[in-house]
Amino acid sequence: MAGNYTLTIVKPDAFGANKAGKIIALLEDKGFSIVAARAMRMSKEQAGAFYEVHAARPFYGELVEFMTSGACMPIILRRDNAVSALRDAIGATDPAEAAEGTVRKLYAESKGRNAIHASDSDENAAREARFFFAECEWVK
């Protein structure tokens, strides 16, 4: 059964442009509730570890550079069918391909500077939530 939690990150491009509030409002309108949130600037070590699955990709260095370029906002969200509902709400990785009304259609600039992250499975949601919120009840 699909889980009720997922992890999102308002990335440095959107957070730095003061779009976090609008993005959170959009997600709340789609039925998500915030379980935990923090604003932080990731270190190179943290970003490198978080995106370790992409370490062999040509864009890995650029991704780590971008994710450490400013503050971001990791958020644990709750909703039924959370992982797929969030992926629907944020849209395709490339904003040029994202559907109307999605976060990336509205706020992303490019495949790299794409405003928001979403976990791609229940398993990764739990791992990613633990990465930022080790103290949170759900991830214990």
Catalytic status, residue 117: yes
Nearer to ligand CMP, 33 or 93 (CB): 93
62 touches ligand CMP by CB under 6 A: yes
User: Using CA atoms, how far apart are residues 129 and 119, in angstroms rounded to an integer?
Assistant: 9
63 touches ligand CMP by CB under 6 A: yes
Among candidate residues 19, 79, 104, 117, the one labeled active-site is: 117
For 37-65, give the DSSP string. Answer: E--B---HHHHHHHTGGGTTSTTHHHHHH
- In this chain, which of 117, 125, 129, 132 binds ligand CMP, going by CB under 6 A? 117
3-class SS letters over 83-105: HHHHHHHHCCCCHHHCCCCCHHH
104 touches ligand CMP by CB under 6 A: no
The residue count for binding ligand CMP (CB under 6 A) is: 9
- In this chain, which of 28, 93, 96, 123 binds ligand CMP, going by CB under 6 A? 93
- In this chain, which of 30, 87, 111, 127 binds ligand CMP, going by CB under 6 A? 111
User: Using CA atoms, how far apart are residues 27 and 83, in angstroms rounded to an integer?
Assistant: 13
| Residue 85, CA distances (Å) to 32, 71, 91, 134 in order | 9, 25, 10, 24
Nearer to ligand CMP, 111 or 127 (CB): 111
Task: Give 44's Cβ-side CA count (13 Å radius).
Answer: 4
112 touches ligand CMP by CB under 6 A: yes
Nearer to ligand CMP, 79 or 117 (CB): 117
